[in-house]
Structure 1
Amino acid sequence: MQRRGVRQVQLGNGLYPTEDAARQFGLDRERLAEIFWRGVNTDYGRLQATGERVRLLLASGKELRLTHPNGTDLRVRIAGRPVGVSDGVISPGDERRGGASTAVWLPAGEVYVTPVPRTAEGTAVADRYFFEGGVVEGLRLEFKQGRLTAMTARSGLERLRRFYDAALAGKDELGAVDIGINPDVNIPEHSRMVGWMPAGMVTVAVGENLWAGGNNSSASGVVPFLPGTTLMVEGTPVVREGRLVATEETAAR
């Protein structure tokens, strides 16, 4: 559908307030519904402006670096790569660009980029990764020359490992880095909630990346959220310890 330029709106984006989702996040369904609809009803003009500022930072950069005290230290080259924005609006410019630009996920609020192939080097650590109703604790992904070379965890890896091992070509390529920019999706303290769009969330996607404008159509996807991460572009902070600071830095100049 993206290739034909068909506009798509997908409601949920991993946060639709079902009983199962609420239980997974350690919330009651009413609280999750409140968070969800507040995110859907965000100020889209402000979201567009934030997305454009972050997009320009990434588009002008050559390398991303992700760090976290838990062991995350990952470098990814992005020079010349297109940067996408999911801001809840499909503008005439989005329609002209086509592809991933014609899709909207609600609640919206993401900026994403696919890496220069074979450039990802280092480690990404997710303290908790939800997969098929289970929890992987301390998921550790190691990359060399753009490919996932090792996947370990403290516990709960067995089901994810079977899924990954059964996948075909492209499953081991770092597909995208995603930054959340929605200020109205707030993660409650002491909950287990994660999501793409909360402002300051950093996500790495391994495998399929057609959604981000890439060309990896692998049926596999390992997509850990990395809350609390710092993300730098050429030494300029975009996210600092899980807080989106790109707009603050821009406003201060």
Structure 2
Amino acid sequence: MDPRVRKHAEIIADHSTRIEEGDNVILNAPPVAEDLVTALFAICGERGANPQWLGQTTAAHRAFMHAADADQFETPEHALAQMEAADVYVSIRGDTNTRQTSDVDPEKTAAYSKAHRPIFEERMGKRWVGTQYPAPGNAQEAEMATEAYENFVYAAIDKDWDQQREHQQQMVEILDPADEVRIVSGDTTDVTMSVAGNPTANDYAELNLPGGEVYTAPLPESVEGEVTFDKPVVNQGREILGARLVFEGGEVVDHSAEKNEAVLTALLNTDDGARRLGELGIGMNRDIDRFTYNMLFDEKMGDTVHMAIGRSIPWTVGEENEANDSATHVDMIVDMGEDSFIEVDGEVVQRDGTFRFEDGFEG
């Protein structure tokens, strides 16, 4: 076994989820990630925890979705009971074919998400993490050789996370007390939103591995302006290019896409909350230096901002504020490397990818 796999497992167990004696641990991972699952089983055995491997493939999920009637989707009570009994949940991504579900009806996918929402909400109360195994399918999607992709993944994961937290905390301290945030990129994106009273979270690999972002929630009715997402959005195996959203009173009132606009439309029609933003995130992991068609990495990429339509993340919503409620949460990325800036309460805090607390910043 590659020693980096054992190191990956140790970061999951020690840093991200703190697996302890007696913990019931669910490992949701495809067969291609068996080495990482094996390493985690060994750690659970060493610590007296109780692991269970859920090994569904995307091919099996595709077969179910094609055969199922969306009108019959209900919350599977056995899956909910299993999640209720868990202490730790580890979701491991890894693909042999990243586009396996690309021919599943987007409206059926939205209905499935609604039915499984209680399971998702239960999971959010556990010690959980989502991570990536460097599988060949993901390497191919990233247009990289498998060995090069392995090096990329492990460089982004095996970091000094305490140091990364301290670096990101500087942005947290700017954003946390803020009222208004403005994002400008080129002549296609100029959007403002209020984050007043909503906490800013510092993601340093506790819930996502890799980590590397700070994020908060806009007030649902505060978003105004237009944004074009210049990085692709991949949802259920479909690639949306050039997604453009226009906001008025917090709601998407116009949208378009250069490719797969119908998929974007279906996402926005999931429910009322899908037409509002649930998250504003700023990527700060500079070991992620290229777009790989994998949002777990791409949203953390240095010199980017991402916004998510749909559900707010609960701990980013202040007690006095309204959370955006939706069955979906889809992140979309804006490149902030050139001809761009982030403005907080009228003051530029990042220009062309350089923060005001970094050398080379020009306000």
Common fold, TM-score beyond 0.5? yes
Secondary structure of the equivalent of 1:237?
A: strand
2:131 paired residue number:
11
Paired letter, 2:355? V
Alignment of 1:63-212 (within 5 A): 63-89=180-206, 104-127=207-230, 128-165=232-269, 167-187=270-290, 195-210=298-313
2:355 paired residue number:
245
CA deviation string 1:38-94 (max 9, x = no partner): 1111121211111211100001322111111150110011122111111125xxxxx
Change beyond 3 A, Cα 1:31–1:230: farther
Q: 1:49, 1:23 → 2: CA distance?
A: 34
2:343 paired residue number:
232
- 1:61 and 2:178 are equivalent in the alignment: yes
CA deviation string 1:159-207 (max 9, x = no partner): 3323432x1231111111001111222217xx76761112222100111
- Greater RCO, 1 or 2 (C-alpha within 8 Å, sep 6+): 1
Q: Which one is further off, 207-216 or 111-120?
A: 207-216
Query: Greater helix percent: which structure?
Result: 2
* Shift in Å, 1:250: 11
Change beyond 3 A, Cα 1:132–1:119: same
User: Does the CA contact (< 8 Å) of 1:64 and 1:233 recur in 2?
Assistant: yes
2:158 paired residue number:
41
**How many residues in Structure 1 have an aligned counterpart in Structure 2?**
230
Query: Greater strand percent: which structure?
Result: 1
Q: 1:81, 1:164 → 2: CA distance?
A: 24
Secondary structure of the equivalent of 2:168?
A: helix
User: Does the CA contact (< 8 Å) of 2:234 and 2:293 recur in 1?
Assistant: no
1:219 paired residue number:
327
User: Does the CA contact (< 8 Å) of 1:207 and 1:218 recur in 2?
Assistant: yes
TM-score by length of 1: 0.80
CA deviation string 1:202-230 (max 9, x = no partner): 10011112366343341123321112253
* Shift in Å, 1:3: 6.7
Q: 1:23, 1:160 → 2: CA distance?
A: 24
User: Does the CA contact (< 8 Å) of 1:26 and 1:193 recur in 2?
Assistant: no
* Shift in Å, 1:28: 2.6
* Shift in Å, 1:9: 2.2
Paired letter, 1:183? R
Q: 1:234, 1:223 → 2: CA distance?
A: 24
Change beyond 3 A, Cα 1:247–1:88: farther
Percent identity between the two aligned chains: 23
Paired letter, 2:275? D
Change beyond 3 A, Cα 1:122–1:159: same
Change beyond 3 A, Cα 1:113–1:251: same
User: Does the CA contact (< 8 Å) of 1:176 and 1:212 recur in 2?
Assistant: no
Change beyond 3 A, Cα 1:180–1:160: same
Runs of 4+ deviating beyond 4 Å = 1-4, 191-194, 249-252
Unaligned runs of 5+ in 2: 1-121, 318-322
Secondary structure of the equivalent of 2:137?
A: helix
Secondary structure of the equivalent of 2:151?
A: helix
Secondary structure of the equivalent of 2:242?
A: strand
Change beyond 3 A, Cα 1:28–1:109: same
Highest Rg: 1 or 2? 2
Secondary structure of the equivalent of 2:332?
A: coil
1:92 paired residue number:
none
Q: 1:65, 1:72 → 2: CA distance?
A: 10
Q: 1:217, 1:55 → 2: CA distance?
A: 24
